[in-house]
Amino acid sequence: MRAVDIIRRKRDGHELTAREIAFLIEGFVRGDIPDYQMSAFAMAVLFRGMTDAETAELTLAMARSGSQLDLSGIPGVKVDKHSTGGVGDKTTLVVASLAAAAGVPVAKMSGRGLGHTGGTIDKLESIPGFRTELKPEAFIRQVREIGLAVAGQSGDLAPADKKLYALRDVTATVESIPLIASSVMSKKIAAGADAIVLDVKTGGGAFMKTLEDAERLALAMVAIGRLVGRRTAAVISDMDQPLGRAIGNALEVREAIAALRGEGPEDLTRLCLALAAHMAVLGGRAASLDEALPLLERKLASGEALEKFRRLIAAQGGDPAVVDDPDRLPSAPRRIAVKAERAGCVRRIDAEKLGLAAMMLGAGRAVKDAPIDHSVGIVLGRKIGDRVEAGEALAELHAARGGEAEAEALRLAAEAFEIGDEPPAMRPLILSVVTEEGVRRMDSEER
Q: Where are the alpha helices (H) located in 80-148, listed in sequence order?
A: 91-101, 120-124, 136-146
Nearer to ligand URA, 21 or 346 (CB): 21
Q: Does 110 bind ligand URA (CB under 6 A)?
A: no
Residues 127-166 that bind ligand URA (CB under 6 A): 165
Nearer to ligand URA, 181 or 273 (CB): 181
As annotated, the active-site residues are 82, 161, 168, 183, 187
Of 7, 43, 63, 180, the one binding ligand URA by CB under 6 A: 180
Q: Which stretch binds ligand URA (CB under 6 A): 180-188, 323-331, 362-370, 372-380?
A: 180-188
Q: Where are the alpha helices (H) located in 283-420, listed in sequence order?
A: 289-301, 304-315, 351-361, 403-416
Nearer to ligand URA, 161 or 255 (CB): 161
Nearer to ligand URA, 184 or 305 (CB): 184
Task: Annotate each residue in 182-221 with x if it binds ligand URA (CB under 6 A) or - if it does not, as one string.
Answer: -xx-------------------------------------
Q: Which stretch binds ligand URA (CB under 6 A): 26-34, 62-70, 178-186, 216-224?
A: 178-186
Q: Which stretch binds ligand URA (CB under 6 A): 45-53, 113-121, 174-182, 268-276?
A: 174-182
Closest listed residue to residue 150, CA positions, set 133, 127, 126: 133
| Positive or negative: CA dihedral 351, 355, 358, 363 | positive
Q: What is the nearest approach in angstroms of ligand URA to the Cβ of residue 72? A: 25
Q: What is the nearest approach in angstroms of ligand URA to the Cβ of residue 305? A: 27
**390: amino acid identity, one letter:** A
Q: Which stretch binds ligand URA (CB under 6 A): 172-180, 281-289, 355-363, 421-429?
A: 172-180
Beta-ladder partners of 382: none
Residues 405, 360 contacting (CB under 8 angstroms): yes
Residues 130, 337 contacting (CB under 8 angstroms): no
Number of helices (H) and strands (E), helices first, in the chain? Answer: 16, 14
Closest listed residue to residue 74, CA positions, set 147, 124, 129: 147
Neighbours of 136 (CB within 10 A): 15
CA distances from residue 281 to 103, 121, 234, 324, 434 in whole angstroms, order as listed: 11, 26, 13, 31, 14
Rounded to the nearest angstrom, the gap between the alpha carbon of residue 307 and the centroid of all alpha carbons in its chain is: 23
Residues 368-427 that bind ligand URA (CB under 6 A): none
Binding footprint of ligand URA on the chain (CB under 6 A): 165, 174, 179-180, 183-184
